[in-house]
Structure 1
Amino acid sequence: MSDNTPNDTRDASGRFVKQAAETAHRLHTPSEDGVHPISKILFGWTEAEITGTAIFWGVGILSAFLIVVDLAVDRHEYVHMAEATGFYALWGFAAFAFVVLMGWPLGRLLRRSEDYYGDPGGPPADIDPDVPAAPDTSPTYPDEGDEL
Structure 2
Amino acid sequence: MKIRPFAPSDTDAVITLWREAGLVRPWNDPRKDIERKLTTQPELFLVAEADERLVAVAMVGYDGHRGWVNYLAVASDSRGLSYGRLMMQEAERLLTELGCPKINLQIRADNATVRAFYEHLGYTEDHAIGYGKRLIAD
TM-score, with length taken from structure 2: 0.21
Larger Rg: 1
Greater percentage in strand = 2
